[in-house]
Structures are given as structure tokens and as C-alpha cells.
């Protein structure tokens, strides 16, 4: 039925009803008119009053009145009344027929027919009736053919206010139930959503409809959840308003008419009050909702709510169990409610609709349903947009862009947070090619959540969008910091470019610099609260960087997705509202707390494998529930990854994988492969904790202080550092151009030292493991070296007692010679790389004023406070941990940095 046609019909119904109301009014009008006549004739007036009081029909039976009318003086009264009466009957007799016809026209099927005709059948209509029968009425009770339908408008049209009479709750329930069943049976399953709230009952509001409550067609709100319902409705109104406005319409109905299809379900909210007035705040909200409801396809049915609602409202007032007065038929006509539909029939039919709805929605959807028909067709200049799940069969999208630049995801362990991230990453990567979207993925959790996106032993493919993948970084907060620094640098680079092109955001930059490479960057930090885990410099720097990126990233297309398992992660924000506020996209997994706004409890009731998406900073009206398909099951993501890899891997390098649980092997790092004679000689010591895959080393220039001290008792790490230093140096000298002098008084380390010496020799260099150190030191002091010499001293502290002894007749001790070698050696190409097992012994070795001779150090299990004398007195923060060293090179570092000593597989370990 076309909109204008139905409108016309509705007008006709209304005018027919008006006509009837007028006829009824005439009877009373007659009395008034008669009274005017009777002003000149008191008797006439009295008589008429009597007639009117009795009613025309009754008066005709009343002998006394009849006698009075027969009096000649009253002839005028008598004939006038007769005319009125005749005219009334002529007109009124046609009203029921006209009404019946019109209601039949506007209200087909379940809108009007008795339940036997439609109950239990599944509706197919997308254009439901406009009037819904609730009962019938007649102008004269004597003739049953005069009965006509009493019906009320509902969807898009009107609210309904029902006022019960005492002890009529059962009848009201039956009335509402029948009305809802008429509506639900008229339209296709899912096209109408019913929300039920009852102020006084916990469980049994219209129980016959309960089979529907396992679907979206029926949502029940217990008495305490009025606010949830009001939030839901007002959120819906705002969303529809925004949607419709964007598409150039003013209402859902208008949008539906223009598109020729239903875009959103209608909603009917039934509110059962108890006759008492509402508190100011919810009432205000209810009135606001009522005012905007029709445009959003919402109708309210308010039962025993003694307030005037906004919007158009029809009323039904019960006089007793059967008799009602409705605003449709006017105050003077009493209608009869239809009898209740037997409850078994209602629940049976509700069950059928529920089944049809479940079948229609096709059950849970899969990850493949999130993917577009073709890979990589989307453009990210304006925003990123991708579905992550489904609500009632319809996709629910995440939008990352100007109005929702950053996201906060929360959910307890096992709630599907990681799975959600996979769904999101997959959906994005399938839509945007790597030139449009670059991913930086960091997981502070122990485990390998993102490791599969980098090439691995089992699967050699990688996600071409991923530039960096950090896993097992829970103890390497510095890596998080490195990522933030990288993003902040990129932010600066982009804003400089934007300024140069005189634009203010990424979309502008891309337009002005079409050949530039400006993908949107999405950085995911899972369990980001680890960044703030200590009261230290890392936390302070992370906070500052994060705030900066959060604030300015929006314009430059740099987006943060911060995920956290528990409240702790969110609490980390409490002192940092800037970051929190910028995360306007909130995603709450079931049972997540504090991710959404304080009063928004949607996540509490979200079912398993669902997420509540909210692009409005977590305010309730922004809630969108979505079922998230399984994206982390076996082969699910991997299948997409392979397709993406096939499509893009040729042009996009593998991501850098940083795995905190696996130290790199010296021979595998690019920096080692690139070493060759001729450049500045650099001894590699370990891996930098950085976004780029870089090794960290000490440059052995011919300058004072170019020696290295390794400090601490951790033998494996100490061996590793000296080992990689020697091996990397070996690659930078031509054969015979360097001599390695090794000395190791620590028994258990000796095999490793001997093995190193053999390997150095095999490399073509001279390498000697010394039996004693003192004579060699004396020689080094005495002669000018012909070649570069590298002194590798293991456990120097063990050597000290013997070095301190002066040989008889000698002025200088071995220790004196060592001090000279440390001081003067580097200038002549003799560098000492030594391992002291404690800082005190290093001080003893260096003596007064000797600290400058150690230009660089790598500390292992040594407390920070012991290190400041070797770092120009600055406060050093360092909590020693296995597999890590704190490295400081006076000539290159402002502050020390954490490095990862290389792994020495298949080599002797102490
Ligand atoms: N939407 C889903 N459909 C089916 N299975 C899922 C879904 N989401 C998660 N799972 C499964 O549930 C388990 C836990 O999910 P997931 O690892 O994503 O949770 P999490 O919140 O990240 O937990 P944690 O933080 O402990 O890793 C996984 O085995 C995952 O495969």
C-alpha cells in the first residue's frame, strides 16, 4: 500500500469516525438547540430536558413525555425532535457500514480478522496495516449487523495509552497481547521488536510471548531496568535520526518509502505502570522519547501510566472487564473488547514466529561472512570501516576515523578479546590493501597471540599489512616505548608534510600528495596496562607519548587500539584522561567493566561471543551488540592470510617480529651479515629493543676510553656479550690485522673461551688463550703494537689478587700495567673487553680517577644505584632480569638502554 494512498484512507476513516462522533453529539446538540426554543417557553424547555435526559429512544416509550409532546403548545418541540431523530438514523445507519469498509481496506489480515484466520501463520508483509483491531462497537445495541471494528493505529503512527479499570489487569494483558500478536503476525519475522517493561513484576509480563524472548523480537526488562530501556530507545532514536538525516530523510518511514525497503525494524515498547506518577527524570526522558519516537519507528504502549505522552497518542480506557471507551470512537461510544486469545494459542504462535526468525537469521555467521567479495578495494583516505560481527543477520561495523580515532577494548580473560582483534584485523586487511593500512601489533601478554601473523616454522606466510609484530613483551616495556616513539616520530613526519602541503589532515595530505605513501596506521597494543606497570621512567615516557599520539593521531591517520583484560588497564588511565577521552570507540566484551560509561551495563548482559560496540565514548545510546564470529579457530585467519600473502607479499616485506621470549642469534641478525673490513670497527653486543631490527654495538675508535666492561655475575649473558663482540670484530679485520688475546681464570667458562679462540683462528686471525695475564700486560705496555689487539678478559676480578702482586725487583704490578693498557691502549688500537663480576672490583681495578677509561659498560645483575658512578653520576633505573643487559656508551648515549644479549645455540655455556 503506497504511503499517500494509505494516508488518504486513514483520513477517510478519521472523517467517518468524525461523522459518527458528530451524530452522537447531535443528540446532545438537539437538547441545546431545544433549550434555546424553550427559553421563551419554559414548559418546552422542561419537556425537552426530560426527553433528552431519557434519551430519544427511551422518551418514545415514556407515556408521560409522549402525553406532554402531544400538547399543541409543544408541537414545535415535537416535530423538531422528530426531524433530528430521523436525520440521525438515516446518517448513522450508514456509518457502521462505511467504517467496516474502511477498516477492512486499511487493516487487512491480522490487523482486523479474528485470530483463527492468522494466528500461528508467519507474516510476510513489509507494509503492515495501519489500524489494529481491539474490539467492536455498535451505535444501537439492538442490531448486531450494525457492529463495526474498533481499531487503533500503531506503527509509525501513534502511541497507545491504556487506562485500566479496577481489577482489569488480566483483560489489559489480553488486550496488549492480542494487539502485539496481530502486529507480529502481520509482518515478516524480525521486522518488529517488542520491549516489555513492568514496574511491578519480575518474571511474568505477558508470559505467553516468552518464546520470542530468545530472539531479538522480544526483550524483557525487569522493574529495575527502566533506565536501560529508556537508554535503548533514546539511543535508537538518535541513531536513526543520524542515519536518516545523512541519507536525506526526516524519518524512518520516509527512508523506507524512498528506498523501497525496510532498513530498521519497528519497535514497540510496552510500559506497564501502576497508576502512580513517575519521577521527574525518567518521565522527562519518556516524554522526550515519545516526542521523537514516530520518526524512528518506535511506538509506545503505556498501560496505567498517568501522564500525557508526546507525539500522537490514542487512548483506550476500560470501564470494566469488557467495555472500553477509545479516543478513536469518541467519548460517547462504548466499545466491547475482543475476548482474550487462549494463552496456549498465543504461546504456540509466538514459538513459531521465534523459530522462523531464528531460521531467517541463519544462525551464527562465520568469519568468511565478514570478508568483502573482492580483496583490497577500499580506500582509507577518509576513514577505516569494516564489519566485525553481526546483529540479527546484519553486519555491525567498526569505524576508525575522525570522529572515532582510537579504540579501547576490554574484556576479562577468555571473553574473546583476542578473537575480536583477529576479526577486526582480518576484516580491515581484507578491505584495505597494505598501501592503505599499516599495522603495528604489540601483545604484552605471555603467549603468541599475534605471532601467527609473522612467518613461522609451520606457516611461512605473513600478513602483508603488518609492519611490526611484538609478542612476549611483558617484561620488555621498553619495546612498547619504542613503538610509541616510532609512532610519535611518524606523527611528526606527517604533520610536517601536512604543513608543507597546507592541509590539516590525512585526507587532505593524500589529496595534495597523491604519490606519497600515507597509509592509515593502526597500532594495536594488547594488555597495554603493562606500559604503566612501574612507577618509573618508562611509565612516564609512555604516558607522555601516548597522550601525544592520542591527541594528534586523529588528524594524521595514526590510530591506537588499546586492549586490556581487566579494570587495572582502565585504571591506568585514571590519571591520564586525555588518552581515555580520545578513545571514543569503546568495545566491551561480555562482562567487561568500566569500558563503557559508568551507568552503561550493556556488557554485563551481553551473551557469549558477542561484543558491545560503542562509537560514542561508551554512552548507552551508542551501544551496538554484535555476535563476533570465530576468527581465531584453526585455519580461519590463516586462510585469509594466505590469500593476502599471495596478493601482496611480493611488494611488501615481511613484518619485523620482536619476540621477547626468544633472543636473536648473532649470525642471523642483518647487522652481523653486513659487517666487513673497512668501516668503523664496531663490536656487536646485543639486540636493541627497537621497532627497527637493529643490533647495538660499541665502536672501537682509536680514542681514550674505548674499552668495555661487562658487569655482574650472570655468566651466560657475559659470555654472550664478549662472544658476539669478538665474532663481530673478527669480520671487520683482514687476515692478520688483529690479534685476540683471551684470558679466562673462571674454570667453567673456559671451554667456551677456547672454542671462541678456535673459531677466531679458523677465521684467519691470531687468537691466544693466555695461561697468565701479567706477562702479556707487561709486554703490551713495553712495546708499540703492530696490529690491533683485542683483550678479552673473563672474570677480571678473579685475576686481581695475583695482578696486585709485584714481582720481586719490579716497580710495577700487573694491575698497574692493566691500568696503563686501559688508559693508553685504545689510542694505539688495543681495546680491552672485560668482564667484572661486581662493580666494586671494577672500581678496584681502575683505581682513583680511572673511571673514564671504561667508556662503555653492559650491566647484568647489578643494581642501578651501583652504576651511576659509571654514568657520569646520573640516576640509573635498572631492575636486572635474565637475558637482558643495560648498556651505556658514554660517547653515544644520553641514558643507558636495555639490550638483549644474543643467544648462543650449540655453543658451550657455563
Ligand atoms: N566469537 C567466537 N566464536 C567462537 N570461539 C571463540 C570466539 N571468541 C573466542 N573464541 C574462543 O574462545 C577462546 C578464548 O578466546 P580469546 O583468546 O579471544 O579470549 P581473550 O579474551 O583474548 O582471552 P585471553 O585474554 O585470556 O587470551 C579461544 O579458544 C577462542 O578460539
Is the pLDDT at 363 greater than 70? The verdict is no
Give distance in angstroms: CA of 442 to centre of ligand 1.
18
Digit-coded pLDDT (tens) for 105-126: 766 788 888 999 899 888 877 6
Give distance in angstroms: CA of 414 to centre of ligand 1.
5
CA 803 to chain centre: 66
3-state secondary structure of 127: coil
DSSP class of 575: T
Residue nearest to atom 23 of ligand 1 (CA): 414
In the block, cell 578479546 appears at 417
How far apart are alpha carbons 834 and 839 in whole angstroms?
Answer: 12
Residue nearest to atom 25 of ligand 1 (CA): 413
Residue nearest to atom 17 of ligand 1 (CA): 418
Confidence at 32, pLDDT banded by 50, 70, 90: very low
Query: If you average pLDDT over residues 896-909, what whole number do you get?
Result: 85
Is the pLDDT at 603 greater than 70? The verdict is yes
Give me 97's grid cell.
457500514
Greater pLDDT, 806 or 761 = 761
The annotated binding site is made up of 411-418
How far apart are alpha carbons 794 and 718 in whole angstroms?
Answer: 8
CATH of domain 666-900: 3.40.50.300
Residue nearest to atom 4 of ligand 1 (CA): 630
Query: If you average pLDDT over residues 187-202, what whole number do you get?
Result: 86
Return the ligand 1 atom nearest residue 422 CA.
18
How far apart are alpha carbons 214 and 172 in whole angstroms?
Answer: 24
Residue nearest to atom 7 of ligand 1 (CA): 630
Give distance in angstroms: CA of 420 to centre of ligand 1.
8
Give distance in angstroms: CA of 409 to centre of ligand 1.
14
Give me 333's grid cell.
461510544
Digit-coded pLDDT (tens) for 521-551: 999 999 888 888 877 788 888 888 999 999 9
In the chain, % helix, strand, coil (3-state, to 5) comes to 45, 20, 35
Residue nearest to atom 13 of ligand 1 (CA): 414
Short-list 426, 644, 658, 637, CA closest to 522: 426
Greater pLDDT, 207 or 101 = 207
Domain boundaries in the chain?
1-106, 130-137+144-358, 395-456+476-635, 666-900
Confidence at 457, pLDDT banded by 50, 70, 90: confident
Of the given ranges (122-136, 480-494, 520-534), which has the lowest mean pLDDT? 122-136
CATH of domain 130-137+144-358: 3.40.50.300
How far apart are alpha carbons 865 and 861 in whole angstroms?
Answer: 12
Phi, psi dihedral angles at 656 (to 5 degrees): -75, 125
> Hey, CA dihedral for 817, 822, 827, 830, is it positive or negative?
positive
Residues with CB under 6 A from ligand 1: 411, 413-419, 565, 609, 628-630, 632-633
Of the given ranges (83-87, 307-311, 805-809), which has the lowest mean pLDDT? 83-87
Give distance in angstroms: CA of 410 to centre of ligand 1.
13
Q: b/e map of 783-814 (b: 16 or more CB within 10 Å)? A: eeeeebbbbbbbbbbbbbeebeeeeeeeeebb
Give distance in angstroms: CA of 564 to centre of ligand 1.
14
How far apart are alpha carbons 290 and 234 in whole angstroms?
Answer: 9
Return the ligand 1 atom nearest residue 589 CA.
21
For ligand 1, pick from 367, 414, 567 the residue to mutate: most ligand atoms within 8 Å of CB.
Answer: 414
Give distance in angstroms: CA of 690 to centre of ligand 1.
30
Q: Is the CB of residue 321 less than 8 Å from the CB of residue 301?
A: no
How far apart are alpha carbons 443 and 418 in whole angstroms?
Answer: 10
In the block, cell 426527553 appears at 51
Return the ligand 1 atom nearest residue 609 CA.
1
Q: How far lies 274's CA from each of 144, 163, 866, in Å?
A: 36, 10, 75
How far apart are alpha carbons 420 and 407 in whole angstroms?
Answer: 13
Q: What is the pTM of this model?
A: 0.69
Residue nearest to atom 5 of ligand 1 (CA): 630
For ligand 1, pick from 370, 413, 418 the residue to mutate: most ligand atoms within 8 Å of CB.
Answer: 418
Digit-coded pLDDT (tens) for 817-869: 999 999 999 999 999 999 999 999 999 898 887 888 999 999 999 998 899 88
How far apart are alpha carbons 522 and 560 in whole angstroms?
Answer: 6
Give distance in angstroms: CA of 632 to centre of ligand 1.
7
Return the ligand 1 atom nearest residue 412 CA.
21
Order the strands of the 856-859 sheet from edge to edge.
695-699, 682-688, 897-900, 885-889, 856-859, 708-711, 830-836, 788-793, 738-743, 766-769
DSSP class of 474: T
Domains 395-456+476-635 and 666-900 share a fold: yes
Confidence at 165, pLDDT banded by 50, 70, 90: very high
- Specify the pLDDT at position 34: 45
Return the CATH architecture of domain 395-456+476-635. Answer: 3-Layer(aba) Sandwich (3.40)
Amino acid at each position: 500500500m503506497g504511503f499517500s494512498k494509505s494516508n488518504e484512507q486513514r483520513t477517510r476513516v478519521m472523517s467517518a469516525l468524525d461523522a459518527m462522533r458528530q451524530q452522537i453529539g447531535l443528540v446532545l446538540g438537539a437538547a441545546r438547540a431545544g433549550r434555546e426554543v424553550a427559553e421563551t417557553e419554559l414548559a418546552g424547555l422542561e419537556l425537552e430536558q426530560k426527553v433528552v435526559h431519557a434519551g430519544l429512544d427511551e422518551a418514545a416509550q415514556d407515556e408521560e413525555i409522549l402525553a406532554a409532546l402531544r400538547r399543541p403548545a409543544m408541537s414545535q418541540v415535537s416535530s423538531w425532535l422528530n426531524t433530528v431523530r430521523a436525520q440521525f438514523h438515516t446518517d448513522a445507519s450508514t456509518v457502521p457500514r462505511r467504517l467496516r469498509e474502511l477498516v477492512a481496506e486499511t487493516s487487512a489480515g491480522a490487523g482486523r480478522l479474528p485470530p483463527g484466520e492468522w494466528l500461528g501463520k508467519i507474516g510476510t508483509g513489509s507494509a503492515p496495516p495501519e489500524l489494529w483491531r481491539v474490539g467492536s462497537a455498535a451505535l444501537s445495541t439492538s442490531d448486531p449487523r450494525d457492529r463495526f471494528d474498533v481499531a487503533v493505529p500503531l506503527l509509525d503512527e501513534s502511541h497507545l495509552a491504556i487506562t485500566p479499570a479496577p481489577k482489569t489487569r488480566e483483560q489489559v494483558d489480553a488486550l496488549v497481547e492480542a494487539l502485539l500478536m496481530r502486529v507480529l503476525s502481520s509482518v515478516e519475522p524480525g521486522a518488529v521488536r517488542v520491549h516489555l517493561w513492568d514496574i511491578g513484576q519480575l518474571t511474568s509480563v505477558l508470559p505467553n510471548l516468552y518464546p520470542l524472548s530468545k530472539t531479538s523480537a522480544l526483550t524483557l526488562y525487569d522493574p529495575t531496568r527502566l533506565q536501560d530501556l529508556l537508554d535503548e530507545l533514546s539511543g535508537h532514536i538518535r541513531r536513526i535520526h543520524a542515519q536518516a538525516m545523512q541519507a536525506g530523510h526526516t524519518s524512518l518511514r520516509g527512508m523506507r518509502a524512498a528506498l523501497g525497503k525496510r532498513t530498521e525494524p519497528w519497535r514497540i515498547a510496552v510500559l506497564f505502570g501502576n497508576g502512580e506518577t513517575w519521577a521527574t527524570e525518567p518521565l522527562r526522558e519518556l516524554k522526550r522519547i515519545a516526542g521523537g519516537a514516530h520518526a524512528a519507528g518506535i511506538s509506545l504502549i503505556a498501560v496505567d501510566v498517568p501522564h500525557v505522552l508526546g507525539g500522537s497518542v490514542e487512548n483506550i480506557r476500560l470501564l470494566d472487564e469488557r467495555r472500553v471507551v477509545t479516543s478513536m470512537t469518541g467519548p460517547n461510544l462504548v466499545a466491547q473488547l475482543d475476548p482474550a486469545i487462549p494463552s496456549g494459542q498465543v504461546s504456540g504462535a509466538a514459538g513459531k514466529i521465534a523459530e522462523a526468525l531464528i531460521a531467517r537469521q541463519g544462525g551464527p555467521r562465520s568469519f568468511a561472512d565478514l570478508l568483502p567479495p573482492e580483496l583490497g578495494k577500499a580506500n582509507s583516505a577518509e576513514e577505516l570501516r569494516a564489519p566485525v560481527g553481526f546483529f540479527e543477520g546484519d553486519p555491525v561495523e567498526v569505524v576508525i576515523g575522525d570522529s572515532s580515532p582510537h579504540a579501547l577494548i576490554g574484556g576479562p580473560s577468555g571473553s574473546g578479546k583476542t578473537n575480536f582483534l583477529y576479526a577486526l584485523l582480518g576484516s580491515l586487511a581484507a578491505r584495505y590493501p597494505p598501501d592503505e593500512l599499516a599495522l603495528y601489533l604489540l601483545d604484552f601478554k605471555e603467549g603468541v597471540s599475534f605471532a601467527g601473523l609473522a612467518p613461522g616454522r609451520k606457516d611461512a606466510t605473513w600478513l602483508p599489512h603488518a609492519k611490526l609484530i611484538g609478542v612476549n613483551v611483558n617484561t620488555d616495556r621498553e619495546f612498547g616505548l619504542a613503538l610509541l616513539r616510532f609512532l610519535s616520530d611518524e606523527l611528526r613526519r606527517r604533520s610536517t608534510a601536512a604543513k608543507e602541503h597546507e592541509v590539516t589532515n590525512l585526507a587532505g595530505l593524500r589529496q595534495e600528495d597523491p604519490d606519497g605513501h600515507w597509509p592509515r596506521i593502526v597500532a594495536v597494543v594488547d594488555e597495554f596496562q603493562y606500559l604503566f606497570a612501574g612507577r618509573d621512567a618508562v611509565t612516564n615516557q609512555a604516558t607522555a607519548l601516548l597522550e601525544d599520539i592520542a591527541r594528534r593521531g586523529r588528524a594524521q591517520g595514526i590510530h591506537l587500539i588499546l586492549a586490556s583484560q581487566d579494570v587495572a588497564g582502565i585504571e591506568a588511565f585514571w590519571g591520564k584522561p586525555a588518552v581515555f577521552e580520545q578513545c571514543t570507540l569503546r568495545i566491551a566484551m561480555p562482562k567487561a567493566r568500566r569500558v563503557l560509561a559508568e551507568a552503561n551495563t550493556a556488557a554485563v548482559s551481553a551473551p557469549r561471543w558477542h561484543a558491545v560496540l560503542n562509537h560514542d565514548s561508551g554512552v548507552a545510546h551508542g551501544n551496538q551488540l554484535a555476535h563476533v564470529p570465530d576468527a581465531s579457530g584453526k585455519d580461519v585467519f590463516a586462510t585469509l592470510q594466505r590469500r593476502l600473502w599471495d596478493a601482496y607479499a611480493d611488494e611488501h616485506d615481511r613484518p619485523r617480529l620482536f619476540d621477547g621470549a626468544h633472543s636473536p642469534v648473532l649470525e642471523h641478525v642483518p647487522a652481523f651479515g653486513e659487517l666487513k673490513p673497512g668501516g668503523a670497527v664496531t663490536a656487536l653486543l646485543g639486540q636493541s629493543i627497537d621497532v627497527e631490527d637493529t643490533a647495538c654495538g660499541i665502536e672501537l675508535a682509536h680514542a681514550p676510553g674505548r674499552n668495555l666492561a661487562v658487569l655482574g655475575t650472570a655468566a651466560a649473558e657475559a659470555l654472550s656479550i664478549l662472544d658476539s663482540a669478538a665474532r663481530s670484530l673478527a669480520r671487520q679485520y683482514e687476515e692478520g690485522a688483529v690479534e685476540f688475546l683471551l684470558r679466562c681464570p673462571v674454570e667453567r667458562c673456559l671451554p667456551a673461551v677456547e672454542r671462541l679462540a678456535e673459531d677466531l683462528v679458523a677465521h684467519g686471525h691470531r687468537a691466544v688463550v693466555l695461561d697468565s695475564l701479567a706477562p702479556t700486560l707487561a709486554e703490551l705496555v713495553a712495546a708499540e703494537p703492530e696490529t690491533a689487539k683485542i683483550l678479552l678478559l673473563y672474570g677480571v676480578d678473579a685475576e686481581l689478587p695475583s695482578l696486585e702482586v709485584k714481582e720481586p725487583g719490579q716497580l710495577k704490578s700487573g694491575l698497574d700495567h692493566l691500568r696503563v693498557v686501559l688508559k693508553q691502549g685504545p689510542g694505539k688500537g688495543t681495546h680491552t673487553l672485560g668482564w667484572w663480576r661486581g662493580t666494586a672490583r671494577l672500581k678496584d681495578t681502575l683505581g682513583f680517577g680511572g673511571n673514564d677509561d671504561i667508556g662503555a659498560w653492559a650491566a647484568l645483575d647489578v643494581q642501578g644505584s651501583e652504576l651511576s658512578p659509571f654514568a657520569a653520576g646520573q640516576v640509573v633505573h635498572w631492575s636486572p632480569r635474565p637475558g637482558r643487559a643495560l648498556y651505556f656508551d658514554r660517547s653515544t648515549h644520553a641514558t643507558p638502554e636495555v639490550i638483549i644479549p644474543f643467544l648462543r645455540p650449540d655453543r658451550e655455556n657455563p
